[in-house]
Chain A
Amino acid sequence: MAEPILAGVAESDLGETPDRNWLDNAAIATVRALDDAGCTLAEVDGVAVAGGDDYMPALILSEYLDLDEPSFLEGTEIGGSSFEHFCGHVRDAMARDEADVVVVAYGSTSKTGPSDDRSLEVTHPVDGFVRPTGLFRPPGAYAMAARRHMHEYGTTEEQLAEIAVSTREWASMNPKAAQREPITVDDVLESRPIADPFNLLDCCLVSDGGGAVVLVSEEKARDIDVPPIAVAGVASTSTHRQDVSEMPDMTTTGAAVTGPKAFEQAGITHDDVDVAEIYDSFTYTALVTLEDLGFCEKGAGGEFVSGGTTAPGGELPMNTQGGGLSYCHPGHFGVFVLIEAVRQLRGDYTGDRQVDDAAVAVAHGTGGLLSSSSTVVLRREA
C-alpha cells in the first residue's frame, strides 16, 4: 500500500497563550507546518482535528482556514492518541486518491483557558459511578494503575522517577521545553504528592499550545521534494473509557495489541527502532507502554528504564524533546509525539540532541485514562 509522507511539522507558541483560543493555536500550527512542508493552504484537501473546545472541530478549523471544500474530514476523538490514529485513516484515504495534502492539527488553552464548570448533578449513568468517588482524574486513575503494577511486579517509585529524570535531560537541550533544569530521582520523590504513588514530577505539565503535521501522498511528496518520512505502520485500539476500574488488566494497555500490529505492518523488529516517542502523561504511562510495545518483558519496565536507558546516549532514546513531563502538554500530547519523531528522522538537530542516523521511529499515543492506544512506525526512506 502507498505510504503517506510526513512532509511538515510545527508547533504554535507553547506555554501560555492568553490571547489565543484553541482554534488560533491549531491554525497557527497548521500554517507553520504547511510552510515546513513547502505547501500552501490552497493545496490542503484534507483536515483531521481532535480535541478543541468546540463541537465539530474539523469543520470549525476548515472554516477558519477558509479551506476550499476539503474531500477528507476526520474528527475521531480518542483523546491523546487521536493523531496517531488519524495517520491510518489518512493512509487509507490517500490509497483511494481521496486526498493529497492532509493537515492533522490540535490546539488548546489548557493552561490559561477557562476551567470546566462541572455540575454536581451527575446525570451521565457511568459518571454517576465515578465522579462521586472524587477520584482526581487523570492523575489518580493512572496512579491506581501504577500501584497495581508495583504490586504485581515490584516496580518502585524510584524506577518511575528515572523516567522523569531521563526525560528532563532531553528537555535541557530543547529551548522550547518549559522545564529545563536537570533533576534527580530524589527531586522527583520529594516533589509535592499528587495522587500516590505520583508526585508532581511524575505528572505532565499543563500548557497552552498547538501542533500540526502535514501528510502528503507519495506523488505529492515528489513534487515538493521533502525528506521522505513515511508512515510504515499504524494501529489503534481501546480498553475502556470513563471508569479505570473497567480496564481489564491495569498493568497491560492497548499498546500490547497495537505495537505488534504496527511493527508487523512496517516489517521491523525492536532492534530496528532508533528513537521512541512515547506518550508520557505520567512516568508510568511511558513505563507500561515500553513494556507493552515489547521493548522489554512485561513487568521489567522498571529495570529497563533505570540507569539512563532512555536518556541522551542511552540504548533507546525516548521523548527526545522532553516529553509531556518537561516540554509541553496542552492536553492531547499525541500530535507532539509525531512532530518530534519526524524531526529526529529528518536529522533536524545537532549535537547530543540528534539521535545518530535515526532511520526508524516509533510514535505512540495514549488517550483518556490509559484508555486508547495508537502506535505509528515512521521510517526514513532511502
Chain B
Amino acid sequence: MSAPVEDRREEWDGPVPVPTGATEPFWEATLEGALRYQECDCGNRQLYPRAVCTACGAEDPPFEESEGVGTIYTYTTCHVPGEPGFGDRTPYVVGAVELAEGPRLLALIDAEPTELAVGSPVAVTFWRVSDEAAIPVFVPE
C-alpha cells in the first residue's frame, strides 16, 4: 500500500512526533505513505509501537504493513482546540480507527462530522508535519 502523503510542513503549527526507539520504523514508513503495525511471531498485533510484545513479552516485535483501511470505532468533534496550533482548525474531528488488521489508532479524521458515523469505513492518508514524520489522517472511503 502507498497512501497519499501531503506536505504540510509549512502550515503545520501543531505538535510533531519525534521518532525514538521502537517508534522509529513506524514514523520512517509514514514518509513513504505506509502505515505499519507490529505483528509478533506469537500472532499478537499492536499499535502504538513498543519495545515488547504485550502478549508474549518478546522484545522488538517486527513490523507489518497495514492495508490502511478500517472503520470508525468512535469519534468526537472538538469545538475547543486541544493542542497548540489547532485554533484555526476548530471544529475538527478526532477518531479511534479500528484497522482491518485489528489494532486501533487515534487519529485526526479529515471529514465533516455529518459525513461520519460509528462504523464508517475510512482510509489513511498522511500529512507530513516535519522532516521526520507524517501523521496518519483518515478520510471517508
Q: Does B74 contact A148, Cβ atoms closer than 8 Å?
A: yes
Q: Does A132 contact B82, Cβ atoms closer than 8 Å?
A: no
Point out the residues of chain A lying under 8 angstroms from B92, CB to CB.
134
Within 8 A of A (CB), among B44-84: 47-49, 73-84
Distance to closest chain A CB from B38 (angstroms)? 13
Please measure, in the bound complex, the distance between the C-alpha atom of A196 and the C-alpha atom of B75, giving whole angstroms.
8
Distance to closest chain A CB from B86 (angstroms)? 4
Point out the residues of chain B lying under 8 angstroms from A244, CB to CB.
96, 106
- Report which of A129, A195, A197 forms a contact with B106, defined as CB distance below 8 A: A129
Q: Does A129 contact B84, Cβ atoms closer than 8 Å?
A: no
Q: Does A122 contact B15, Cβ atoms closer than 8 Å?
A: yes
Query: Chain A 108-134 against B: per-residue CB contact (8 Å), 1 yes, 0 no?
Result: 000000000011111101111111111
Q: How many A-B residue pairs have CB under 8 A?
A: 133
Size band of the A side of the interface? 35 or more
Is B9 on the interface with A (CB-CB < 8 A)? no
Q: Does A133 contact B113, Cβ atoms closer than 8 Å?
A: no
Please measure, in the bound complex, the distance between the C-alpha atom of A143 and the C-alpha atom of B94, giving whole angstroms.
11
The chain A residue with its CB closest to the CB of B117 is: A151
Point out the residues of chain B lying under 8 angstroms from A145, CB to CB.
74
Is A308 on the interface with B (CB-CB < 8 A)? no
Q: Does A134 contact B14, Cβ atoms closer than 8 Å?
A: yes
Point out the residues of chain A lying under 8 angstroms from B47, CB to CB.
129
Q: Does A147 contact B76, Cβ atoms closer than 8 Å?
A: yes
Is B17 on the interface with A (CB-CB < 8 A)? yes
Point out the residues of chain B lying under 8 angstroms from A128, CB to CB.
17-19, 23, 27, 48, 133
Is A64 on the interface with B (CB-CB < 8 A)? no
Please measure, in the bound complex, the distance between the C-alpha atom of A77 and the C-alpha atom of B18, giving whole angstroms.
26
Distance to closest chain A CB from B14 (angstroms)? 6
Q: Does B76 contact A125, Cβ atoms closer than 8 Å?
A: no
Please measure, in the bound complex, the distance between the C-alpha atom of A219 and the C-alpha atom of B11, giving whole angstroms.
66
The chain B residue with its CB closest to the CB of A130 is: B106
- Report which of A118, A129, A196 forms a contact with B105, defined as CB distance below 8 A: A129
Is A193 on the interface with B (CB-CB < 8 A)? yes
Q: Does B17 contact A195, Cβ atoms closer than 8 Å?
A: no
Point out the residues of chain A lying under 8 angstroms from B31, CB to CB.
none
- Report which of A123, A125, A127, A250 forms a contact with B74, defined as CB distance below 8 A: A250
Is A8 on the interface with B (CB-CB < 8 A)? no
Is A136 on the interface with B (CB-CB < 8 A)? yes
Is A135 on the interface with B (CB-CB < 8 A)? yes
Is B43 on the interface with A (CB-CB < 8 A)? no
Point out the residues of chain A lying under 8 angstroms from B91, CB to CB.
193
Q: Does B18 contact A121, Cβ atoms closer than 8 Å?
A: yes
Distance to closest chain B CB from A148 (angstroms)? 4
Is B139 on the interface with A (CB-CB < 8 A)? no
The chain A residue with its CB closest to the CB of B108 is: A133
Q: Does A147 contact B15, Cβ atoms closer than 8 Å?
A: no
Within 8 A of A (CB), among B83-124: 83-86, 89, 91-92, 94-97, 104-108, 113, 118-119
The chain A residue with its CB closest to the CB of B127 is: A132
Point out the residues of chain A lying under 8 angstroms from B19, CB to CB.
128
Q: Does A134 contact B18, Cβ atoms closer than 8 Å?
A: no
Given A245-B104, A245-B105, A122 and B18 contact (CB-CB distance below 8 Å): yes
Point out the residues of chain B lying under 8 angstroms from A137, CB to CB.
82
Is A243 on the interface with B (CB-CB < 8 A)? yes
Point out the residues of chain A lying under 8 angstroms from B22, CB to CB.
125
Q: Does A144 contact B21, Cβ atoms closer than 8 Å?
A: no
Interface residues of chain B, those whose CB is within 8 Å of chain A, are: 13-23, 27, 47-49, 73-86, 89, 91-92, 94-97, 104-108, 113, 118-119, 129, 133, 135
Known: A131-B83, A144-B95, A195-B80. 4 other contacts (CB 8 A): A129-B105, A135-B78, A147-B76, A246-B104
A and B contact pairs by CB, cutoff 8 A, 13 listed = A119-B15, A120-B84, A127-B15, A128-B17, A129-B23, A130-B106, A132-B108, A134-B89, A140-B76, A144-B75, A144-B76, A144-B96, A244-B96
Interface residues of chain A, those whose CB is within 8 Å of chain B, are: 118-123, 125-137, 139-140, 143-145, 147-148, 151, 192-197, 243-246, 250
